[in-house]
Amino acid sequence: MNTLLSDTRKDAPWKNDPHFWLDLLGRNKPKTTSPSKPLPGLLGEKVRQRVIEDGYYRQPAPEKASVTSVEALREIVEKLVELGFPPSFALLYDEAYTVWAKYALPSSFKNLTPTFDILAFHVDPRKDSSGFSPHRDRQPEDVSASFDSEKQPSYLTRWISLSKACSESNSCLYVIPLQTDPGYYTSDDVTSSSQLSHDGGLNPSILPLLAALPTKESFQNIRALPCEPGESILFSHRVIHWGSKGNPETCTEPRVALSVVYSDPEFEKPYIKQEVYSWSPTDPEFPSFKVRLVLVCCQMLVYYQRFDLTAEDVRKCYDVVVESGDVLEDEYRKKVCVEFCKAVRETGGIGADGDSEAEDSDEERMLEEMLDNQDAFEDEFDDFDDYEDGDDVGGELDEDDNGEEEELGLVGKPKRRKLGAAKC
């Protein structure tokens, strides 16, 4: 990347100015309302039953107009990546929310609302990038309680293919259907498994895979889910899924995708305070630029291990959170603060650039956040830690679409995902 683009990347992401981003890609003035309504009957009771019965459902592209919106968003992602920005900066643009509106869930899925866990992904096998290893998106302490009485999951991800996703070239998603996964409705208890070796040589994170794939014949249960642009995949928090490694020799385009998460608020609350912004499936409005920017910066911090962030990037992302964090739901803001402290520590942020003033500032901010959010550091948020570096498998994330991420833990941690870019 040349110096000009590097300098632009360093300064631009933290400018709270929508016109800068519009000028960057030559886009039109941002809108405040959606130009299109969600498609009626996009998902019905039949599709809901497929999700309940299989744990996932691959849906065809709904209409030509939706594919046009998908193409526009893909162009934005590819241009941003070319300029050196993580693909999720596409969430600053209207096109991301236009696509989201097209793929809204219908009322047949009961009590599910958007969490605002939205990510864009860009996987290019020609640049040695690949999707995440096999994982579940959530590992609640009480798995059975994360389904209602009809076995509808309390957490769903819609993965929208913005490009072609082909197993023979740029890769695609793979799943293990729930019928052949004995751990789908139960916890993945790896502490008492007889398959653990006496010397501890077998990483316990792969045991759910061994349970689902106990014989060579059982590997035939794995299902590949190639997609055309505009097709999407719905899958629950308990489906074991992953992104394959594409073939750089036959790949002609990157795999680009957008993922949106829906959850029962009793299971996982939305990230944005309802009084600040809420999503109506019948009359969607675009979030303000302030909300968009703070969401992107939060995702950069929460998924810091997936992005090429410098110590200065981390500081500036957190500056946005401090300035605009009043829009965030309290529990999620605590999570972001915890991840900020981890990012500063793990990226060598404190004093990494030789700036003594920055070092003092980082130390002070870490101490402040640890004191202000002591409960978050002591209780379930600590359970988001990845496995130590060098282990076969890292922490659990949600998405499977980036070339530089750590591998994800299949077993995962309680209730919430440490996120993807953890999607696919």
Res 259 pLDDT > 90: yes
Close Cβ partners of 353 (under 8 Å, ≥ 6 residues apart): 310, 311, 312
More confident residue, 28 or 167: 167
Q: Report the CATH number at residue 379.
A: 2.60.120.620
Average pLDDT of the segment spanning 244-252: 85
Average pLDDT of the segment spanning 368-372: 59
Asked if 248 and 171 count as a contact pair (C-beta separation under 8 A), the reply is no
Asked if 35 and 68 count as a contact pair (C-beta separation under 8 A), the reply is no
CA distances for 137 relative to 132, 150, 198, 238, 416, angstroms:
11, 21, 29, 6, 8
- 239 belongs to a structural domain: yes
pLDDT of 326-364, one tens digit each?
999 999 999 998 888 888 877 665 444 445 455 556 556
Lowest mean pLDDT among 40-49, 68-77, 262-271: 40-49
- 261 belongs to a structural domain: yes
More confident residue, 196 or 231: 231
In this prediction the pTM is 0.80
- 417 belongs to a structural domain: no
- 158 belongs to a structural domain: yes
- % the chain with pLDDT above 70: 68
- % the chain with pLDDT above 90: 38
Domain of residue 243: give its range.
3-384
- 406 belongs to a structural domain: no
Lowest mean pLDDT among 181-185, 217-221, 318-322, 385-389: 385-389
Asked if 401 and 140 count as a contact pair (C-beta separation under 8 A), the reply is no
- 41 belongs to a structural domain: yes
Q: How many domains are there within the chain? A: 1
- 413 belongs to a structural domain: no
What three-state secondary structure class fits 129?
coil
Residue 281 has what pLDDT?
A: 63
Residue 149 has what pLDDT?
A: 93
pLDDT of 48-89, one tens digit each?
999 999 999 998 887 765 678 899 999 999 999 998 888 999
Lowest mean pLDDT among 116-120, 123-127, 223-227, 231-235: 123-127
Residue 101 has what pLDDT?
A: 85
Residue 29 has what pLDDT?
A: 57
pLDDT of 191-226, one tens digit each?
544 444 445 556 666 778 888 999 999 999 999 999
Res 252 pLDDT > 90: no
Res 421 pLDDT > 50: no
Interatomic CA distance for residues 135 and 397, integer angstroms: 8
Asked if 155 and 416 count as a contact pair (C-beta separation under 8 A), the reply is no
Res 369 pLDDT > 80: no
Res 385 pLDDT > 80: no
CA distances for 347 relative to 11, 280, 304, 309, 371, angstroms:
19, 39, 9, 8, 21
- 422 belongs to a structural domain: no
In 75-144, the DSSP E strands lie at: 113-123
